[in-house]
Amino acid sequence: MQGYKAPQKDALFVMNELLGFDKHYAEHGFDDASPDMVEAIFSEAAKFTENVLAPINASGDEEGCVWKDGVVTTPAGFKEAYQQYVDGGWPSMTQPEEFGGQALPYSLGSIIAEWFSGANHSWAMYPGLSHGCMETLKAHGSEEQKKQYLTNLVSGKWTGTMCLTESHCGSDLGMLKTKAVPNGDGSYSITGTKIFISAGEHDFSENIVHIVIARLPDAPSGTKGISLFVVPKFNAGPNGEKLERNAVACGSIEHKMGIKASATCVINFDGAKGYLIGTENRGLNCMFTFMNMARIGTGLEGLAATEAAFQGALSYAKDRLQFRSVSGVKNPSGPADPIIHHPDVRRMLLTQKALREGERAMALYCMKLVDVGLYSDDEKAKQVGEGKLALLTPILKAFLTETAQETTSYGMQVYGGHGFIKEWGMEQLARDTRICTMYEGTTGIQAIDLLARKVAGSNGELLKLFIQEIKEYCLSIRDKSQFNAWSNSINKHCDEWAQITGDILQRAAKNPEELGAASVDYLMYSGYVTVGYFWLKMAVTAQEKIDAGDYSNSVGDETFYQAKLHTAKFYFDRLLTRTRSLVSSMDSGADNLMSMDQEMFYLG
């Protein structure tokens, strides 16, 4: 398999030529994120990604993590790569200066995080969890807690986790059993066991800061009785000094299908000392700061896998000789033609390409909305941005990871039998990516969050907000007649999107099962329309560049922009049409799912 290459050019196209990130950064006071500085940062990130992380990806999968007597040892080279990451200042990139950060925008760090994941999914999970821990403490921690933990977390000296899941409750957090008992001195005694804790134990850092949900003795039942605590592996002094070992231990690590070099831990809290974050019984609200960041990050993992699958498949398809092209010999000096000339290989490659580029545009758009929420002084802009982000976050997480299952499968398929062999890297990519549809909330949970909480819960206002943006854009390009067909298609899909929503909610008023029955198809429909909107914008931008005819100040050359137009055509002709079957499925209702008695689900 060809070595991973950070997609710098495509990221810069979306940032500066499509979404105006250069102006966005300037408007929010990020003078150090000038276009020249962004390119310089990208260049260094690409070197680290390509030369440090990618070379230890396969070996890390082969070796995996080792657990012995509560201690986890990561594969060869992983700890050293983390130290290079710390020495390069990458953990502090987007964090506040008061804690030793560089105060660069969230979006810039997230773009680079995609590259880390594409090069080495397992390794990227270790620092990825720390960022969610930091965001939670920044948003909800006390001044004392920030002083104790953030400087060391920002530097990368310490790492962080999120400890939510328990074996009996999974995503139903209201059933959690972990207890928090007041000690009388402002601390709490935390007792319980958490499972599936990514980066819960490892040899990268000298301390691990766990963000833990637990229940106080007099807490209400269900999710209304969840509180949030910071529980370090080693207790911390008032200025971040590492003190004595806390009663936190790794009981085991999981033996998994993929991401084998990422330690997925069982963490036991045996009367460990913890400290309340926020207020009692409001932990779920605080936790969503972490969860929403994690959902966006997981969506980026899906995009990263699609990028890596495309890179590997494209390289192989250009070199692999099999059969002659039916339209005529393309490689007269060889015994056969490269398989990229066969229509079905083109179908797979173009599907990967169309999804990787459309989804990157969608992802960076969402990152821009995060920036607005974090940094804007315009309260109306923040409200609008946060509303759109609330709608798009479950779509981003689920659609990008579900389509990654397709694109990584195509990566294997393009290689044929070699795709099933470890040395080519495609089967590892498919295995590693499979988890992305499951953690941070399965696709079904994201779908019901979208339809029930975000759409129905806002009386359709969040959906109207985003549809209005799309329709206004379609109206703004009416004079560009060559795009009328695509613009009209997106416009009609928006009308249909609103109509479908109304139909489902009307049926759900009589039968609440209708929401769950339609939700996943609804989310996937939403994803295809949203990505279609961004493909329309990219096509218009590409045509404008071609019409101008001067590429001296552009990201790409004419071939780059012509490729955008060809890929847009493929998306509208081949992928957006998938919405037809999704509509049919949604229209069929809940009865075909729910009317069959459970006894009819029999074996044999």
- Distances in whole angstroms, Cα of residue 406 to Cα of each of 278, 314, 413, 423, 437: 41, 15, 10, 21, 12
Nearest CA to 319 out of 420, 409, 424 is that of 424
Tokens of 254: 């999981």
Q: Give Cα 111 to chain centroid, integer Å.
A: 11
Say which residue the tokens 């310490």 belong to: 158
**DSSP per-residue string spanning 125-136:** HHHHHHHHHHHH
Per-residue tokens: 284 = 């779920």
Cα torsion angle, 117, 120, 121, 124, sign = negative
Instruction: Map residue 555 onto helix, strand or coil.
Output: coil
Residues 175, 192: Cα–Cα separation, whole Å:
13
Coil/strand/helix, residue 67 = strand
Q: Which residues, including other chains, have CB under 8 Å from residue 576's CB and lie 6 or more apart?
A: 489, 493, 528, 529, 532
Query: Three-state SS across 96-118?
Result: CHHHCCCCCCHHHHHHHHHHHHH
For residues 225 and 177, give the distance between their C-alpha atoms in angstroms, rounded to a whole number.
11
3-class DSSP assignment, residue 259 = coil
Question: Which structure tokens are listed for 407?
Answer: 């694109």
Distance between CA atoms of residues 552 and 232, nearest Å: 53
Tokens in use for 406?
A: 């397709």
Structure tokens at 251: 């009981």
Q: Is 602 exposed, middle or buried (0-12, 13-18, 19+ CB in 10 A)?
A: exposed
Q: Which two tokens stand for residue 449?
A: 């969050």
CB–CB of 366/296 below 8 Å?
yes
Residue 281 in tokens: 């019984």
Distance separating alpha carbons of residues 233 and 323, to the nearest angstrom:
59
* Token digits of residue 600: 């009819």
For residue 135, give the amino acid letter.
E
By C-alpha distance, which of 171, 152, 121 is closest to 439?
A: 171
Q: Which are the catalytic amino acids?
A: 440
> Which among 11, 263, 264, 18 is positioned nearest to 113, based on CA atoms?
11
Measured CA to CA in angstroms, residue 119 lies from 205, 304, 404 at distances of: 22, 8, 15
- Residue 89 dihedral angles phi and psi, to the nearest 5°: 80, 15
Distance CA 488, CA 473 (A): 11
Which of 428, 435, 426, 411 minimizes the C-alpha distance to 355?
411
